[in-house]
Structure 1
């Protein structure tokens, strides 16, 4: 009986000991590290390019002028309105015509002489300036309005003179608007002047906008300096540096839980991509894209994005 009681007590102690040691072994089997995300290097073509500003402009603006001294009877336009060639913009009546009309009408009321002179648009475009209104007395040759010609719309590229050698290879460009729209454009001949201070030369870029683009809108234009095929590049956020930016490195996965520091030599940089000249990386490697800042060499990490990047 005593032997049975002793065996029972021993079994309970063993069971209790196992229950306390099991979780510890489980914790050791799954070490926790810094949460990180990873991506694989990619192979493809990269461009070394420069991004410049281009400003929307109407190159031809026509002034609508009074053809005689007199009063503007009516004004049929407003700022921003599109007008067509030959469209009546103003009706002008001279003092002489008004006096002559009164005399003629007294002699023959059926003649109905008005003496009204129509002022018409000389081209197609938008009214960008309106200097007078109905009831105003104007003089012969006085400016009444300004028409920005439809066909003269273009972007003006401000190109530093030292980059003019890029023009022959970049006649066809893409004009990127602030709203994300991209317009194909063609570079035309430069304007024959250079800014004396900035030393930039203006080039005309012709586009077909398909809609009204406001004058003075600033867009972006990329000019390609060189193209390099079969390059290996990584996301920009994966590349770290020291304070003086004299040394660059990435954190590369050595195994499923360990990241090691790898010193790299950079090449081209464009957008969110940086070329890695050395060491040799493959598309099977994994580099840290977040959680990498401040990590030491051979750091323990936990990858939180399991899907291919």
Structure 2
């Protein structure tokens, strides 16, 4: 009996000894696992940029309408029947081209009789109606065989030499535009032209206080009538400015406060309040604070972050 009890006690002692031997092994295994785990990198991946000192143009865009200033109404020069019609809508005609032929009633009735008496008179020939300008036919009011009276309008021709862009210029901007100045014109399809300021209208619209300015497109004219285009008016061109890409500048919801995120050491960026100046489609002038070429500004990874963040610069 005693031997059985002794054996049981021995087994219990062995189990306790085994348990206590397992404890240090457990802690050693945990320690090894902790060494193998890598710490989490909480830095925000960002790309950076620097300032640009190229001059920025301060400009505004105004609408202008393409039109023909002179529209010629060609009229009948005799009373009679149209024996020929040589034009149609959208035709381009040259100055002096024959547009119509008119045969008078008298020539129809008496022509053959008089010509028999004296063939040199050539009585009864058609009277020609010629164009008095080169341009595009926009309206034809008659057709062959019609009876017309002297002075009736037959056709309308837009004088090609009178094509212009009419810009409605607010009077306060007149100081930025002068006769002979070259302006950039942007068409709705994204293409551009240059135009020369030809003259100012002598009157100002009483309601809108705008003054019409006539612009002549340089080179080939392929702009259709009544097209509305954008004319860029340069208000100033600074020789040297400090600017940043538009993506670097952040603002609050009301767009009253603006700031950038500037790197101050190898892995820290802080919020820097700024004052904006001229703004273009892709760049913003920074009036204050004064930035240098050595300053590194966050280009991406800067949106919705705290005033001070840990960053990791990556190549763009």
TM-score, length-scaled by structure 1: 0.81
Shift of 1:201: 0.3
Identify the match of residue 108 of structure 2 among 83, 98, 105: 98
In the TM superposition, 1:124-203 aligns within 5 A as 124-168=134-178, 171-203=181-213
Does residue 264 in structure 1 map to residue 274 in structure 2? yes
Q: Max radius of gyration: which structure?
A: 2
Identify the match of residue 258 of structure 2 among 248, 255, 260: 248
Secondary structure at 1:198 match in 2: coil
In the alignment, structure 1 segments of 5+ residues that lack a partner are 1-9
- Once residues 89 and 204 of structure 1 are traced to their aligned partners in structure 2, the CA distance between those partners, rounded to angstroms, is 31
Note closer, same or farther for the CA distance 1:169–1:133 as it changes in structure 2 (3 Å cut).
closer
Shift of 1:41: 1.8
- Once residues 180 and 146 of structure 2 are traced to their aligned partners in structure 1, the CA distance between those partners, rounded to angstroms, is 51
- Once residues 70 and 95 of structure 1 are traced to their aligned partners in structure 2, the CA distance between those partners, rounded to angstroms, is 6
Q: Which residue of 2 aligns with 1:293?
A: 303
Identify the match of residue 83 of structure 1 among 93, 101, 117: 93
- Once residues 97 and 46 of structure 2 are traced to their aligned partners in structure 1, the CA distance between those partners, rounded to angstroms, is 67
- Once residues 61 and 245 of structure 1 are traced to their aligned partners in structure 2, the CA distance between those partners, rounded to angstroms, is 50
Does residue 214 in structure 1 map to residue 209 in structure 2? no
Secondary structure at 2:238 match in 1: strand
TM-score, length-scaled by structure 2: 0.79
- Once residues 48 and 168 of structure 1 are traced to their aligned partners in structure 2, the CA distance between those partners, rounded to angstroms, is 17
- Once residues 242 and 170 of structure 1 are traced to their aligned partners in structure 2, the CA distance between those partners, rounded to angstroms, is 44
Identify the match of residue 72 of structure 1 among 82, 98, 101: 82
- Once residues 289 and 91 of structure 1 are traced to their aligned partners in structure 2, the CA distance between those partners, rounded to angstroms, is 73
Note closer, same or farther for the CA distance 1:147–1:14 as it changes in structure 2 (3 Å cut).
same
Q: Conserved in 1, the CA contact under 8 Å of 2:65 and 2:166?
A: yes
Shift of 1:65: 0.9
Q: Which residue of 2 aligns with 1:7?
A: none
Shift of 1:83: 0.8
Does residue 122 in structure 1 map to residue 136 in structure 2? no
- Once residues 201 and 79 of structure 1 are traced to their aligned partners in structure 2, the CA distance between those partners, rounded to angstroms, is 33
The root-mean-square deviation of aligned C-alpha atoms, in Å, is 3.2
Note closer, same or farther for the CA distance 1:107–1:280 as it changes in structure 2 (3 Å cut).
same
Shift of 1:40: 2.3
Note closer, same or farther for the CA distance 1:170–1:84 as it changes in structure 2 (3 Å cut).
closer
For structure 1, which segment, 64-73 or 248-257, has the greater mean C-alpha deviation from structure 2 after superposition?
A: 248-257
Q: Conserved in 2, the CA contact under 8 Å of 1:170 and 1:224?
A: no
Q: Which residue of 2 aligns with 1:226?
A: 236
Secondary structure at 2:239 match in 1: strand
Q: Conserved in 2, the CA contact under 8 Å of 1:105 and 1:113?
A: yes
- Once residues 299 and 169 of structure 1 are traced to their aligned partners in structure 2, the CA distance between those partners, rounded to angstroms, is 55
Q: Which residue of 1 aligns with 2:17?
A: none
Q: Which residue of 1 aligns with 2:9?
A: none
Shift of 1:302: 5.4
Q: Conserved in 2, the CA contact under 8 Å of 1:170 and 1:223?
A: no
For structure 1, which segment, 171-180 or 251-260, has the greater mean C-alpha deviation from structure 2 after superposition?
A: 251-260
Q: Conserved in 2, the CA contact under 8 Å of 1:43 and 1:233?
A: yes
